[in-house]
């Protein structure tokens, strides 16, 4: 039987008002376009309870006792990677037989839901302190300063790769708690490597790195692509360049090259790719590329270039401004 649509509070009150002025149930039904039985039910409810509001419903009793709810909530709080199957087995050993959906519903009522574990850099105490120092130094920077930065990075894109995920039980806004994340290292597998840059005004140049990158190759990439990107993006005078602390970036020869070119460089904390808003663009690019399903390396490279060029300035601007708020978390 199909579920009927519930009458609005205004309609229910109107039924009572018409009844009180002496109209019959049939007349009220015709005037409001309702069945006589529906009108009669509302009037009987009002006569009995002096209200047309929904009354508390008893519903079916909970399958998991309050003690069982505390047990599974305590379990996932200690270990967010506990699976629903593990919790089903725990309750079964305690004498309660439930299904996985029941586990999900119960934990959801406790403010917990199953989410993919966020991947974050593996941080040592020295990295945490460096990130905290960086955040404090830039806490009061105006948005205009962030908009005048050219952000850069390298990434690898797989042809048929699938990112492995782990699910965790967590509360809202707890995605970055260490228990709810998966530490990652800088470089993983992949079929093509890309170097790219962008600013709040839009994407800069994107190139494929076909050989193992060293310091000399990195300086050549900057020489051929950084300044042209700045010109194409119409960066203001005094724009700042950002790159991470990869040894190729921090090599003495690279620092000297940047100094001679009079490029201002952001002092970047180590192990902080998640602070770089270009990660949002890499994610955007990978989603776009995956949707087109390239079948070979040549097609993968071509599609990467095409989709990178299509990324609108609005997509580039949002993570730059949001990045300030993210940095202040530290």
3-class SS of residue 96: coil
d(CA 237, CA 27): 77
Could you give the C-alpha distances from 117 to 93, 211, 285, in angstroms and in order?
28, 33, 21
> Rounded to the nearest 5°, which phi and psi values hold at 169?
-95, 120
3-state secondary structure of 192: strand
Q: What pLDDT is attached to residue 242?
A: 92
Tell me the C-alpha distance between 100 and 63, whole Å: 12
Would you give per-residue pLDDT tens digits along the chain (330 residues)?
455 678 888 899 999 999 999 999 999 999 999 999 999 999 998 898 888 887 776 667 788 999 999 999 999 999 998 999 999 999 999 899 999 999 999 999 999 988 887 776 676 787 777 777 777 776 776 778 888 999 999 999 988 644 445 677 788 888 778 777 766 544 443 589 999 999 999 999 999 999 889 999 999 999 999 999 999 999 998 999 999 888 999 899 999 999 999 999 988 877 676 678 898 899 899 989 988 888 889 999 999 999 999 999 888 887 665 555 444 444
Looking at domain 125-163+189-325, what is its CATH homologous superfamily?
Ribonuclease H-like superfamily/Ribonuclease H (3.30.420.10)
167 DSSP β-pair partners: 116
pTM: 0.56
- The domain spans of the chain are 9-49, 66-110, 125-163+189-325
pLDDT (0 to 100) of residue 164? 43
Write out the two tokens for 45: 């409810």
Q: What share of the chain is helix, strand, coil (3-state, %, to 5)?
A: 50, 15, 35
Q: Would you state the torsion angle of the CA atoms of residues 17, 20, 23, 28, taken in this order, to the nearest 10 degrees?
A: 30
pLDDT in the model for residue 105: 92
pLDDT, residue 179, reads 78
pLDDT value of residue 221: 95
Dist. CA 287–CA 307, nearest whole Å: 10
Q: Give the residue from 160, 180, 165, 150 showing the smallest Cα distance to 286.
A: 160
> Is 24 within 8 Å of 67 (Cβ atoms)?
no
Res 322: pLDDT: 53
Burial of 78 (0-12, 13-18, 19+ CB in 10 A): exposed
């Amino acid at each position: 039987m199909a579920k009927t649509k519930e009458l609005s509070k205004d309609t229910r009150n109107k039924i009572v008002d018409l009844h009180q002025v002496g109209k019959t149930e049939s007349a009220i039904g015709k005037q409001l376009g309702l069945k006589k039985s529906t009108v009669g039910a509302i009037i009987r409810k009002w006569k009995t309870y002096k209200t047309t509001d929904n009354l508390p419903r008893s519903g079916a009793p909970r399958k998991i006792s309050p003690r069982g709810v505390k047990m599974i909530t305590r379990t996932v709080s200690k270990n967010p990677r506990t699976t629903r199957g593990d919790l089903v087995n725990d309750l079964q050993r305690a004498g309660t037989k439930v299904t996985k959906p029941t586990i999900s519903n119960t934990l959801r009522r406790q403010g917990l839901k199953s989410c993919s574990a966020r991947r974050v850099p593996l941080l040592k105490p020295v990295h945490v302190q460096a990130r905290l120092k960086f955040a404090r130094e830039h806490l009061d920077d105006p948005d205009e300063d962030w908009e005048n930065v050219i952000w850069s990075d390298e990434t690898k894109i797989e042809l048929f790769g699938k990112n492995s995920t782990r699910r965790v039980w967590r509360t809202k806004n707890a995605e970055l708690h260490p228990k709810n994340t998966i530490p990652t290292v800088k470089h993983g597998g992949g079929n093509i490597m890309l170097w790219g840059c962008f600013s709040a005004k839009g994407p800069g140049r994107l190139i494929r790195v076909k050989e193992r990158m060293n310091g000399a190759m990195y300086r050549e990439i900057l020489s051929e692509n950084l300044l042209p990107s700045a010109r194409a993006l119409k960066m203001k005078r005094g724009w700042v360049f950002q790159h991470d602390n990869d040894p190729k970036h921090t090599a003495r020869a690279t620092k000297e090259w940047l100094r001679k070119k009079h490029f201002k460089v952001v002092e970047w904390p180590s192990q902080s790719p998640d602070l770089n808003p270009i990660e949002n663009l890499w994610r955007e690019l990978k989603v776009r590329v995956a949707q087109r399903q390239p079948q070979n390396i040549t097609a993968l490279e071509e599609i990467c270039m095409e989709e990178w060029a299509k990324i609108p300035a609005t997509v580039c601007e949002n993570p730059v401004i949001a990045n300030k708020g993210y940095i202040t978390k530290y």
